[in-house]
Every structure is written in C-alpha cells, then in structure tokens.
C-alpha cells in the first residue's frame, strides 16, 4: 500500500508528540505542512529560515528516527521554506537521513538553494526593517534601583525584582508580575530590573516594550505578512519586559501570539517581567490559559506609599534636583498628596515652578496655596493623616501623642475630633480610621463621633474649634 505524504507525516507527528512537551509540539510541529512524498523524499513546508534552523538544532535526532521508521533507511527529508518578502517559497533544502544511528542530521548532505543570502528577521522597532538581533532595550537610564525609594508599600515587589535582576530566568519569580494603581512606580521598577540585568549580564538581550506598542506591531505584522518575523524577533530576547499587560484584554489574536512567545521564552529559561494595574484574578477579558501563565511565578503588589515613604520620595527628588525645602513644607506636601508617587512629584514640580515664576521664597503659606489649587484640580478627598496633622497643629500637639494610649483630656479631645473629621471627610471605614489613631476599634471611633456631635451642640467654644478646623480642612 502506497502511503500519502499526509499519512506519513501524521504518523511522524504521533511519534513526535509522545517524545516532547505539548507546548513544544504546538509551537514547532503543528505549523509544519506536508507537501509531497516522492522517491522516499518527504517534503515539509516550514514558516521561515529561523524555524528550519531551530528544528535542526533542537529536534534533529527525533526527526531522523521518526522519518527512518516511517519511510525506511533510504528516506530523506526536504524542507520548503517560506520567504515572506519574496515568492511564496524558496528552492527547498534537502537533508538526507543517514542510516547510521549515531550520525547527526546536521552532518548529512544538504543541497542549498541558489539564492543563499541569509534571510534576516524583520525588527518591528525599525521601519521599514531589519538587522537581526541588534535590539535596543528601550530602557530609561534614570529609572534605577538606586532611585526607587523602598517602603512597606513596595518592599516585596522591589526585593523580588532585585532577585530577578541578579538571576534572570533562574528564580521561581518567572514570570514576575508587578501590579498596582496608577503612579505607584510599576514602570520605574520594571526599568530598574532591566537596567540591573544589563549591568550584571552585558551579553543578555533585554527588551522593554509597552503592551500597546506590542499590539500595534502585531497589527502591522499581519498587514505586512511578517507575522513569523514578529514572533521570532520576540523569541530571540533573553529578558522580555511588557508594561501594562492589561491592555491585551479583549484582544484575542494579540493574546494568542503573546501566549506563544511567552511559552517559548519560559520553556527556554528566559525571564519575563510584566506590569499591570490589576492582579491576575481581576483581569476581565484575558484568556484563562494566559492568566494561568501569569500565576506561574510571583505576583507582587505595589501599594499606596505611607507617610514616611512619601517624605522619603520628596527628599530623594529634592536631592536629585539639587534643591532644598523647609521641613514643614515637605511634611505638608507629604500629608496633603497621598494617592500616588506621580502626583507627589507633580505637586513638588508645581510648587517649584510657582516659586520660580513669581520670584517668591518657598514657604508653608505658598505650599498651602499651591496644594489647594492642585488638590481641587484633581478632585481629591483629604487624607486621615492630613486631618491628624491639621488637628495636632491646631492644638499644638505632637502627632505621636494622638496615636498614643494616653488619656489626657486635651489629647483625647484632639483624637476624637480627628476621628470625627476622618469619618466626615474621607471614605475610610471606621476600622481604618481607628487603626490610624493608635489601633482603636470601630466602636471607639463611633463613640468618638457621637461625643463630638454632642459637645458641638452644648459647648460653644468646642463648636468654634470645629468650625475653624473645618475651614482649614475644607478645599475652597
């Protein structure tokens, strides 16, 4: 019975599938198309020269065995390689399968096509094309670990990022997914990892790319019929850093191609670093198989910086800019802007610009005027910490006293007022307000609020306190 080329290749695939991982099979063997079987020569079409080289380098022994088993000792394999920017295919590469089991397919005779110019992979970062592997990292030089201020909010993410940078692909943190809200330092940390790897391992190819850029490159590759080059380009890197990976949600084909690239890199011990504004469990519109890959390594949260970290960030920024501000101004900025790092730095830049343009000294009063406008423009609620700062300043008490266990009348009163305004002016829970006031429970906070309301109705002086404090806290 004469076997067809499809039947022979189907039998080969069954044997191959039993000897390699499922993902390797899908990546490297499913795209192959059997073309013909003549004179014991099986011709298969592969997508690119790179694809052919990969098969020869990694699956030679396996191919030799299965072809010999299905066709016989006289069998040979012929590759028809698609040349994307020319005709549909080149003259095929013919490789004889040797009868000697100890021989390597690489040592077999190879009939090369007449046009032997090396097919170079299109670089999607260069328009219109080329030069293989000379890849720019796209890293921002100033975004280093030294310039990244560590605090409780980011300790795990920074430590895991540093571990990855010292042993890329060699830790359990692969992929490393860094997630958190806007302006909390995800991009900075991602660049820090890339820069540290480049310093430690100069020969490694590191590539940072925004997910939106990746998606647009993929669309261009589809339009230009260069999808294979696009995939192979990304498969060549040693460290791939994708920023804002949540941008892939809802983009099924982009997720498919990224899934293939991800698997290839991961299987070959390459490091993957991702950033996102959400944890994997919260990503809607992302394929489950991709989400499961994200969970293989470590997901590290970047939280909102606490007061001490915000002060440290401002001081670091001032030191780097060669400027000095009064301590009360720095503290005021840190208390007032509490949502993210980007806005803290924006507030500082705005203050410096105002002082420079108006030729004024930077004072607490100027800072208050600037913060009023800045906070109003961003429609922000005041923070618990800022309320405590204003109340303590008003009653001339150190803030540490407010958080202590002391039962002194003036301290208890200031503490209760802080709780009252925190409940009134923020969206924080009673438990969270209590935690900011020395670890009090929600019942204590509720009692404090009732006490303040009752006193304001019966004590005129106390009511004046509240009115004056509310004016200081209210954004006009």
Q: Name the helix (H) or strand (E) containing 300.
A: strand 298-302
Q: What is the mean pLDDT of residues 124-144?
A: 67
Local structure of 455: helix, strand or coil: helix
Do the domains spanning 155-302 and 306-380 agree at the CATH topology level? no
Q: What is the pLDDT of residues 47-98, one digit of tens each?
A: 776 677 778 777 888 888 888 888 888 888 888 876 544 334 344 444 444 4
**pLDDT tops 90 at residue 473:** no
The domain made up of 5-111 is a member of CATH 3.40.50.970: no
Q: Using alpha carbons only, give the angle 374, 379, 382 rounded to the nearest 5 degrees.
A: 80
Task: Over range 413-432, report the average pLDDT.
Answer: 87
Average pLDDT over residues 268-296: 87
Distances (CA, A) of 258 to 245, 279, 294, 296, 337: 10, 18, 12, 16, 38
Of all residues in the chain, the percent with pLDDT exceeding 90 is 17
Q: Which residues of 228-267 are buried (b: 16+ CB within 10 A; e: fewer)?
A: bbbbbbbbbbbbbbbbbbbbbbebeebbebbbbbbbbbbe
- Confidence check: pLDDT of 471 > 60: yes
- How far is 281 from 260, CA to CA, in rounded Å? 21
Query: Could you give phi then psi for residue 260, rounded to 5 degrees?
Result: -65, -45
**Domain 155-302 sits in CATH 3.40.50.300:** yes
Q: How far apart are CA 203 and CA 197, in angstroms?
A: 10
Can you give the pLDDT at residue 126? 59
Tokens for 336? Answer: 């007032």
pLDDT greater at residue 233 or residue 284: 233
Residue 339: pLDDT band (50, 70, 90) is low
Name the range with the highest mean pLDDT among 114-118, 172-176, 345-349.
172-176
pLDDT attached to residue 315: 81
Residue 381's pLDDT is 56
Tens of pLDDT, residues 201-221: 988 999 999 998 999 999 988
pLDDT > 80? residue 39:
yes
Q: Is the pLDDT of residue 451 over 50?
A: yes
Question: Which CATH code is given to the segment(s) 306-380?
Answer: 1.10.8.60
Judged against a pLDDT cut of 80, whether residue 101 lies above it is answered with no
Highest mean pLDDT (candidates 227-231, 312-316, 317-321, 359-363): 227-231
Model confidence at 189: pLDDT above 60: yes
Averaged pLDDT for residues 227-254: 90
Give pLDDT, residue 113: 36
CATH class of 381-476: mainly alpha
pLDDT the model gives residue 87: 39
All structural domains of the chain with their residue ranges: 5-111, 155-302, 306-380, 381-476
The mean pLDDT of 393-412, rounded to a whole number, is 86
Confidence band of 121 (pLDDT split at 50, 70, 90): low
Over range 149-171, report the average pLDDT. Answer: 88
Please enumerate in sequence order all residues whose Cβ is within 8 A of that of 243, keeping only pairs 6 or more positions apart, or say none: 186, 187, 190, 208, 209, 210, 211, 275
d(CA 197, CA 214): 22
**Residue 133: band (very low, low, confident or very high) from pLDDT cuts 50, 70, 90:** very low
For the residues 260-269, what does the mean pLDDT come to? Answer: 91
Q: Are 233 and 265 in contact (CB under 8 A)?
A: no
- pLDDT for 352 equals 76
The pLDDT value recorded for residue 301 is 85
Tell me if residue 269 falls in helix, strand or coil.
Answer: coil
CA–CA separation, 436 and 180 (whole Å): 22
pLDDT band at 272 (very low <50, low <70, confident <90, very high): very high
Mean pLDDT estimate for the chain: 80
Sign of the Cα torsion 105, 106, 112, 118 reads positive
Q: Check pLDDT > 80 for residue 222.
A: yes
Whole-prediction pTM: 0.52
Residue owning tokens 């549909």? 88
State the pLDDT at residue 414: 92
**383 contacts 466 by C-beta, under 8 angstroms:** no
């Amino acid at each position: 019975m004469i076997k067809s080329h499809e039947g022979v290749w189907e039998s080969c695939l069954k044997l191959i599938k039993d000897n390699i991982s499922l993902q390797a099979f899908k990546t490297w063997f499913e795209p192959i198309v059997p073309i013909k079987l003549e004179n014991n020569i099986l011709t298969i079409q592969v997508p690119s020269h790179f694809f052919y080289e990969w098969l020869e380098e990694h699956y030679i022994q396996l191919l030799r065995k299965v072809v010999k088993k299905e066709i016989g000792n006289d069998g040979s394999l012929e590759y028809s390689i698609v040349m994307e920017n020319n005709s549909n295919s080149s003259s095929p590469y013919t490789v004889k399968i040797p009868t000697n089991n100890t021989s390597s397919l690489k040592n077999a005779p190879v009939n090369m096509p007449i046009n032997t110019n090396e097919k170079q992979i299109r670089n999607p970062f260069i328009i219109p094309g080329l030069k293989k592997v000379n890849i720019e990292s796209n890293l921002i030089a100033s975004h280093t670990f030294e310039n990244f201020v560590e605090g409780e909010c980011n300790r795990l993410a920074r430590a895991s990022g540093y571990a990855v940078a010292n042993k890329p692909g060699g830790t359990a943190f692969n992929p490393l997914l860094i997630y958190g809200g806007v302006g909390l330092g995800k991009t900075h940390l991602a660049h820090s990892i890339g820069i540290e790897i480049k310093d430690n391992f100069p020969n490694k190819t590191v590539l940072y790319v925004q997910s939106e850029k990746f998606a647009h490159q993929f669309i261009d590759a589809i339009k230009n019929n260069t999808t294979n080059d696009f995939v192979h380009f990304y498969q060549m890197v040693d460290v791939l850093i994708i920023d804002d990976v949540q941008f892939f949600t809802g983009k099924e084909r982009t997720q498919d191609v990224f899934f293939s690239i991800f698997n290839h890199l991961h299987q070959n011990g390459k490091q993957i670093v991702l950033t996102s504004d959400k944890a994997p469990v919260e990503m809607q519109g992302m394929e489950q198989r991709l989400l499961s890959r994200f969970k293989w390594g470590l997901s590290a949260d970047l939280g909102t910086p606490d007061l001490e970290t915000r002060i440290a960030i401002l001081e670091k920024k001032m030191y780097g800019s060669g400027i000095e501000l009064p301590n009360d101004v720095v503290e005021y900025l840190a208390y007032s802007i509490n949502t993210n790092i980007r806005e803290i730095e924006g507030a500082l830049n705005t203050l410096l610009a105002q002082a420079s343009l108006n030729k004024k000294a930077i004072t607490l009063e100027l800072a208050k005027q600037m913060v009023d406008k800045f906070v109003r423009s961003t429609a922000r609620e005041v923070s618990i910490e800022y309320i405590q700062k204003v109340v303590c300043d008003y009653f001339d008490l150190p803030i540490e006293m407010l958080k202590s266990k002391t039962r002194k009348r003036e301290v208890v009163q200031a503490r209760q007022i802080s709780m009252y305004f925190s409940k009134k002016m923020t969206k924080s829970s009673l438990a969270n307000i209590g935690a900011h006031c020395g670890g009090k429970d929600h019942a204590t906070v509720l009692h404090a609020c009732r006490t303040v309301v009752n006193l304001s109705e019966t004590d005129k002086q106390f009511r004046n306190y509240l009115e004056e404090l509310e004016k200081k806290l209210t954004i006009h």
